[in-house]
Amino acid sequence: MLVEINFDGIVGPSHNYAGLSPGNLASQRNRGATSHPRAAALQGLEKMRANLHRGLAQGFFLPQPRPDTAWLAALGCSAADAPPALLAAAMSASPMWAANAATVSPAPDCADGRCHLTVANLRSMAHRSHEWPFTLRQLELAFSDGQTFAVHGPVPPAFGDEGAANHMRLSAGHAAPGVEVFVYGCGGGAFPARQHEQASRAVARLHRLDPARTLFACQSANAIAAGAFHNDVVAVANGHVLLAHEQAFEEPAALYAALRAAVPEFELVEVPAALVTLEEAIGSYLFNAQLLSLPGGGMTLLLPTDAKEIPAVVRWLEHVAAGNSAIREVDFADVRESMANGGGPACLRLRVVADPATVDPRFLATATKLNRIAEVVEARWPESIAPAELADPRLHARLRDAHEALADALDLPELCQA
């Protein structure tokens, strides 16, 4: 039975606000603030728990060992003598944003009938460019059944790839063949366009997608310039529904027409700029929501609690819940620590359509396992990290310890640092 499994990145113990992502307004605004890794990880676990309660399949990925000493060694330094900018990049907990881990094409879309995953190279930001080797190790473990899955290495770094954050799939239902939409950046004014068209096209070829059911769309340069560093900050798709801001795409009419032609059930829920401006959309993360098909039918839009703070967004949410779209209810998750670095509910998860029985069960969540993870977090994750502490060797030792304790608790010795 193919179902959607949301794999959330567990927030790592080194979660901090180093301001490493130009073009990501929250990351820049909070540069130098004190972070709260323990609260951040517990918030993420709570979101997973709520999705389990909704009757949805839930998985997780482990945080990565930090500081990334192998990466620092390749740069000719160590955690003890690295220049501050390199050390901050080596300390980042950015793998929590699992939407950037990989692009996933479910089996019904791929010519060989396997589910394909390509790990993202994340080459546009130094602090994310060294995530992929460890991510690849996890993907190869979690999806090791070669009859069912094909896991690919990253596309060459000449072309930036940011994974599922710039990829959408529309279909009559998760298990039905879908139309895959790859959104790439053409320009973004002062800010980088992080997804390269050639990376998207390479992933589509590697996944053996049917060209007639694969669309490529340019993200609007205005959206990137306004702070939508990934497409999932201005659009989200689930099943037959696309929820998008009016200014998300460079040529929206052509994209919508192609989707109407390819997916008979296609439903567009477009938010006009006259009701919610791009700035309000990006400030609230209205679109960085999880749009979830509920087991009993209908969809829930799971938003960050921060969205309640913007009146235009609250008005629009009242309007959609009262209307007759497939979005039947709106709910909220408190992921404030992640939001302060520009990561909402949708950034924290990677969607994989698969039969849970084909996934390594060590990566699948149950209520008991989430409690076990919470115990490790409570006992080992630092309560707070101030920027000045990033170079403290005692913090480095504590992070190693925390990582090992979690890998132990989840019976994943393969993911221990040594």
Among 178, 342, 345, 382, indicate the residue that binds ligand SUG (CB under 6 A). 342
Task: Check 196, 347, 396, 403 and give the catalytic one.
Answer: 347
The secondary structure of 240-273 as a DSSP string is TEEEEETTSBSSHHHHHHHHHHH-TT-EEEEE-T
Instruction: Based on the shown chain and the rule CB under 6 A, indicate whether residue 232 belongs to the binding site for ligand SUG.
Output: yes
Enumerate residues 150-179 that contact ligand SUG by CB under 6 A: 165
Instruction: Based on the shown chain and the rule CB under 6 A, indicate whether residue 266 belongs to the binding site for ligand SUG.
Output: no
The residues pairing with 171 across neighbouring beta strands, listed in sequence order, are 178
Token output for 243: 């929820």
325 labelled as ligand-binding? no
Instruction: Based on the shown chain and the rule CB under 6 A, indicate whether residue 24 belongs to the binding site for ligand SUG.
Output: yes
Across 45-70, b (16+ Cβ under 10 Å) vs e yields bebbbebeebebbbbbbbbbbbbbbe
Among 36, 38, 230, 400, indicate the residue that binds ligand SUG (CB under 6 A). 230
Instruction: Based on the shown chain and the rule CB under 6 A, indicate whether residue 20 belongs to the binding site for ligand SUG.
Output: yes
The residues pairing with 150 across neighbouring beta strands, listed in sequence order, are 116
Among 2, 10, 11, 18, indicate the residue that binds ligand SUG (CB under 6 A). 18
Q: Is 403 helix (H, G, I), strand (E, B) or coil?
A: helix
Residue span binding ligand SUG (CB under 6 A) among the ranges 92-100, 152-160, 208-216, 298-306: 92-100
Element (H, E) at 126: helix 126-129
362 labelled as ligand-binding? no
162 is catalytic: yes
Min separation Cβ 91 and ligand SUG, Å? 9
Nearer to ligand SUG, 19 or 106 (CB): 19
Residue span binding ligand SUG (CB under 6 A) among the ranges 105-113, 138-146, 182-190, 338-346: 338-346
CB 234 within 8 A of CB 349: no
Instruction: Based on the shown chain and the rule CB under 6 A, indicate whether residue 97 belongs to the binding site for ligand SUG.
Output: yes
Task: Check 15, 167, 230, 396 and give the catalytic one.
Answer: 230
**CB neighbour list of residue 77: distance below 8 Å, 6 or more residues apart:** 83, 86
Residue listed under structure tokens 């599922």: 164
347 is catalytic: yes
Nearer to ligand SUG, 2 or 5 (CB): 5
CA separation for the pair 20, 215 (Å, rounded): 31
341 labelled as ligand-binding? yes
CB 263 within 8 A of CB 170: yes
What is the DSSP pairing of strand 102-105 with strand 115-119? antiparallel
309 is catalytic: no
Among 12, 343, 345, 382, indicate the residue that binds ligand SUG (CB under 6 A). 343
CA separation for the pair 249, 287 (Å, rounded): 14
Min separation Cβ 221 and ligand SUG, Å? 17
Closest CA to 149 of 357, 347, 367: 357
The residues pairing with 293 across neighbouring beta strands, listed in sequence order, are 299
Min separation Cβ 332 and ligand SUG, Å? 18
Which phi and psi (to 5°) does residue 81 adopt?
-125, 10
20 labelled as ligand-binding? yes
Binding residues: 18-27, 100, 127-128, 194, 232, 341
User: Active-site residues: which are they?
Assistant: 162, 230, 347
Binding residues for substrate: 18-27, 100, 127-128, 194, 232, 341
What are the residues binding ligand SUG (CB under 6 A)?
17-21, 24, 27, 92, 94, 97, 99-100, 125, 128, 165, 229-230, 232-233, 341-343, 347
